[in-house]
Chains A and B, each alone.
Chain A
Amino acid sequence: MSALAVTEADVLARLAGVRDPELGMSIVDLGLVYDVRVEAGRVAVTMTLTAPGCPLHDVMTEWVRAAVAAMPGVARCDVTLTFDPPWSPDRIRT
């Protein structure tokens, strides 16, 4: 598989397997993933958490980074945490 074969949709599918440990829901279904960009095997994920100051911030970003970095064709994954706009329950996919 070449690096170019990885798409935003592939990354989102992978991230759908990362679950919030308390809620047991996928971070994609929770609406925590704001943006995914793929360029020449380098993936940039912009995500949020349900609350600023959440102690899970390092855990969640590490999970996301590790999950994406393990995908074939991914050379590097950078995860950016943002609270702008802040997360709200309206972002949950039901």
Chain B
Amino acid sequence: MTGMRAARPSVTLPLAYLASATLAFVLAAVATPWLAPELAGHYYHPRVLALTHSITLGWITLTIMGASFQLIPIVLARPLWSERLAWWQLGLMIVGVVGMIGHFFIGAWSGLVWAAALVALAVGAHLVNVALTVRGLQRWTFTARMVTMALAGLGLTTVVGFVLGLDKIFRFLPGALFANLHAHVHLALLGWVLPMMIGVAARVYPMFLLAPEPAGWPGRVQLWGVGLGAPAVALGLCGVPGLLVAGTVSVAAAVTGHLAWILTMVRSRKRPALDTGLRLVLTGALALSLAAVLGVALAFDLVAGPRVALAYATLALGGWVSLTIAGMLLKIVPFLVWYRAYAPWAGRAPVPALAELSCARGERLASRLLSAGIVALAVALWIGDPAWIRVAGSVVAAGALALAATLARVLTHLRRRAPRAADALAVRTA
């Protein structure tokens, strides 16, 4: 038994990342109604930047890093190179992100650069760990290519962000401030998050939906669309308008390919019923289509201004990414906890099914509040009324708290020492 346990991948490592990320999400969501007056103004405000980075680094990046340590061994069938390095990375990320958010909030740029350096170190550790994990990979699948592309995007985004921080002190960067800022944002969104999400989706969604693995032209469109489109958009935003248009079309094509695959998987699935986690993931895909339409409209100057830009960012980061992540957390966290608490009893005692670890009502409440709240927040930000932003932000905050409470309830199973006889049986001796 001891040998069997030692061979198992770590459960506490991804759980520590996911718990930290969820805490960041709750704090950001609770801060949203409180920052309504700032959010009703221009997005280039220190406190709005603090809120944005608590979402992008604290919530999204920490979640992706933690989920990578759980999913990469499954998706690529290889063990993680160094768990110890991953723990150091978590410590650096937490201190760095807290430092960045705090210094953004008070507008202290020298402190911000030091905190950003810690985040850059953590990102470096992540890139090294994952690179050494996948080295010598025999088969470069769609997912492996997309994950590699995403890691390159993460590295570039971090470098550009750090340079932007230095520029706040030394003022050495050429070009307009907003052009560089928009390039940084889109490197993060299209170069880091998009390829990671669509790469992992191609491998993980079929597993959850019990659908055939997607194939065909949408895959090529996604690879080329993101590979060429993300850098083109970033460069285009830095002052090459032609590249911005071409890049936008490429990324829009990639998003279309991704959505086409999701539709195919949902239609061909053999999973009889979709649980709340999967419904949230699909709601996230719907938000992605809205964000993509708005992004194209912004790129072609059909709409313009900071209000639309905030609505676009909310639909992308809040609607697509956050709902997808929330849905995946409702799948991953119960699995990790079940694996830690009950897998050792496999075949020896009755154990509960995964669904029994969570609270279905809590999941549904979190899903409805987050979905409705984020769409309402995007509309309120577009309108620019602080009162409506406060109301919509409060709904999002309630949803984030419901999600955190639901996940916390799942974590309570870690304290159990032995399965209870009253629990439903996953092994039924017919």
CB B355 to nearest CB in A, in angstroms, measures 7
The reply to whether B430 and A53 contact each other, CB–CB distance below 8 Å, is no
CB closest chain-A residue, reference B269: A89
Interface size on A, residues (CB 8 A): 32
Which A residues are CB-close (under 8 A) to B347? 62-67
Q: Which listed residue, A21, A54, A90, touches B353 by the CB 8 Å rule? A: A21
Query: A1-41 CB contact bits vs B (8 Å, 1 = yes)?
Result: 00000000000011011110111100000000000000000
A55 within 8 Å of B (CB atoms): yes
Tell me, in angstroms, the Cα distance from A94 to B268 when the chains sit together: 13
- A59 and B378 CA atoms in complex are apart in Å by 44
Range of interface residues on B (Cβ < 8 Å): 35 or more
- How far is B210's CA from A94's CA once the two chains are assembled, in angstroms? 12
Chain B: minimal CB distance from A90 (Å): 8
Q: Is A84's CB within 8 Å of the partner chain B?
A: no
Q: Is B169 an interface residue (CB 8 A)?
A: no
Tell me which residues across on chain A come within 8 A of B271, comparing CB atoms. 23
A53 engages B78 (CB within 8 Å): yes
Query: A residues 80-94 with Cβ under 8 Å of B?
Result: 88-90, 92, 94
If A21-B353, A23-B271, A63-B347 touch, whether A51 touches B427 (CB-CB below 8 Å) is no
* 20 other A-B residue contacts (CB within 8 Å) besides A58-B8, A63-B347, A89-B268: A17-B430, A21-B342, A21-B353, A21-B354, A22-B331, A24-B355, A53-B74, A55-B73, A58-B343, A58-B346, A59-B343, A59-B346, A62-B346, A63-B427, A66-B347, A67-B429, A89-B211, A89-B269, A89-B270, A90-B212
In the complex, 26 of the A-B residue pairs with CB atoms within 8 angstroms, ordered by the A residue number, are A14-B430, A16-B430, A17-B427, A17-B428, A17-B429, A18-B428, A19-B426, A19-B428, A21-B426, A24-B353, A51-B74, A51-B207, A53-B73, A53-B75, A53-B77, A55-B73, A59-B339, A62-B346, A63-B426, A63-B427, A65-B347, A70-B429, A88-B212, A89-B268, A89-B270, A94-B270
